[in-house]
Amino acid sequence: MKKITIAVDSFKGSLSSREVADAFEEGFKSQFPKCEVVKVSIADGGEGTVDALVETLNGELVKALVADPLGRTISAQYGIIDDGRTAVMEMSAASGLPLIAPTERNPLRTSTYGTGEMIVDAIKRGCRKFLVGIGGSATNDGGTGMLRALGFRFFDAEGNELIGGGEILERIDKIDASTARAELAECEFIVACDVTNPLYGPEGAAYVFAPQKGADAAMVERLDQGLRNYARAIERFNGVQVDAIAGAGAAGGLGGGFKALLGARLEPGIDMVLNAMQFPKIIAGSDLVITGEGRIDRQTTMGKAPSGVLREATAQGIPTIAIGGAVQPCKELEQSGFAAVLPIVAGPIALEVAMQRDTAIENVRRTATQIAKILTLKI
């Protein structure tokens, strides 16, 4: 065994990607002390994406003062990689649901304006490429808040400028980009989007996602009608039929706003992450790839980080073992192509104990040692 690559997602609430990799390396090298170990922090476009890319690509974390979903000033963190040319962001840092109290949740009022302010901050720092994760939003404004921060303006039929959250969608008659930032013409946006929901309708942004953001039945209907009106305004503006775009309903329609008005590319989160770090080059020459996440189940095979790692490793003929804090056996995992799927917990244990940092580290280390011992067998 000359080289292995460890590319794991974080074990959320327990260990970071780096802590899992460090523990695995220690256990594995107890049996293969001379083996080259490459450690890569990964994520699937959601929480942890900024940290993973900044760490793997030797970037830096920066902060910007932006508006939270209700317009209050907060400090939002994002990353800069690629020698200052690329910004990597999680929209939830500025416009996420955890930023507001449950009693404040109202997608008629919440706005993505702060996400736009993060983008403006990065533009001013010289970034022209943007990798954006859009999970966890508190909003249903179709990205109008973000676009307003970038200089777009929205008007009703009487020529009044519209400012606000999801409530403005039903009144939009005209979109004006004449005051949009000139730098946008030089910018490329890649958006991590793991849902295929349309902008509106029974499977659209309002009906599927708005209730968890504080919308009652009446709000849902109003927001859905607003998104329909917004789609018609976009088509009048630039001819784009946003209602035909899979994933336009992501993050309360932010996916549609990015795609239709900024020309963004929507792609699965793990693809965005692995492409950014040129993952195939990282694993080239590996004898084994180790991946994993906190809980491994059928969802793991449906676009989560380990499935993306498996796909890239399989393309190079490299066997891949997945480890997890917990594993739920299912036919999808059995048929996925992993060489093995292993839980790190050896026996019955309380969840709160299993998730304790020291316990989890020891369990990862022990699992790595056992894997390495099996690999030393000459049968």
Mean pLDDT of 116-125: 98
The pLDDT of residue 7 is above 90: yes
Are 70 and 81 in contact, with CB atoms under 8 Å apart?
Answer: no
Q: Indicate the CATH number for domain 49-270.
A: 3.90.1510.10
Q: Under 8 Å CB-to-CB from 9, ≥6 apart: which residues? A: 17, 42, 43, 44, 48, 291, 292, 293, 294, 304, 305, 306
Query: Residue 162: which pLDDT band, with cuts at 50, 70 and 90?
Result: very high
Query: Residue 336: which pLDDT band, with cuts at 50, 70 and 90?
Result: very high
Residue 348: the pLDDT is 85
Average pLDDT, the chain: 95
The pLDDT of residue 47 is above 90: no
The pLDDT of residue 251 is above 90: yes
What are the structural domain ranges in the chain? Answer: 3-42+277-376, 49-270
Are 270 and 161 in contact, with CB atoms under 8 Å apart?
Answer: no
Residue 46: the pLDDT is 85
The pLDDT of residue 378 is above 80: no
Are 209 and 247 in contact, with CB atoms under 8 Å apart?
Answer: no
Phi then psi for 262, rounded to 5 degrees?
-120, 0
Query: Residue 28: which pLDDT band, with cuts at 50, 70 and 90?
Result: very high
Residue 12: the pLDDT is 87
Give residue-wise pLDDT tens across range 188-237.
999 999 889 999 999 999 999 999 999 999 999 999 999 999 999 999 99
The pLDDT of residue 241 is above 80: yes
The pLDDT of residue 379 is above 80: no
Taking the C-alpha atoms of residue 134 and residue 84, their distance in angstroms, rounded to an integer, is: 22
The pLDDT of residue 117 is above 80: yes
From residue 313, alpha-carbon distances to 22, 93, 215, 345, 362 in Å are: 21, 32, 43, 25, 27
The pLDDT of residue 303 is above 90: no
Q: What share of the chain in percent tops pLDDT 90?
A: 91
Q: Indicate the CATH number for domain 3-42+277-376.
A: 3.40.50.10350
Taking the C-alpha atoms of residue 358 and residue 50, their distance in angstroms, rounded to an integer, is: 25
* Residue appearing with tokens 């690509």: 57
Determine the 3-state secondary structure of 363 from DSSP: helix
Lowest model confidence (mean pLDDT) among 43-52, 101-110, 258-267, 281-290: 43-52
- pTM of the full structure: 0.91
Residue 102: the pLDDT is 95
- Per DSSP, 166 falls in state G
Residue 244: the pLDDT is 85
Mean pLDDT of 297-311: 91
Mean pLDDT of 56-76: 97
8 exposure class (CB count in 10 Å sphere: 0-12, 13-18, 19+)? buried
Are 297 and 324 in contact, with CB atoms under 8 Å apart?
Answer: no
Strands (DSSP E) contained in 27-121 are 36-41, 60-67, 73-81, 86-90
Residue 224: the pLDDT is 98
The pLDDT of residue 346 is above 90: no
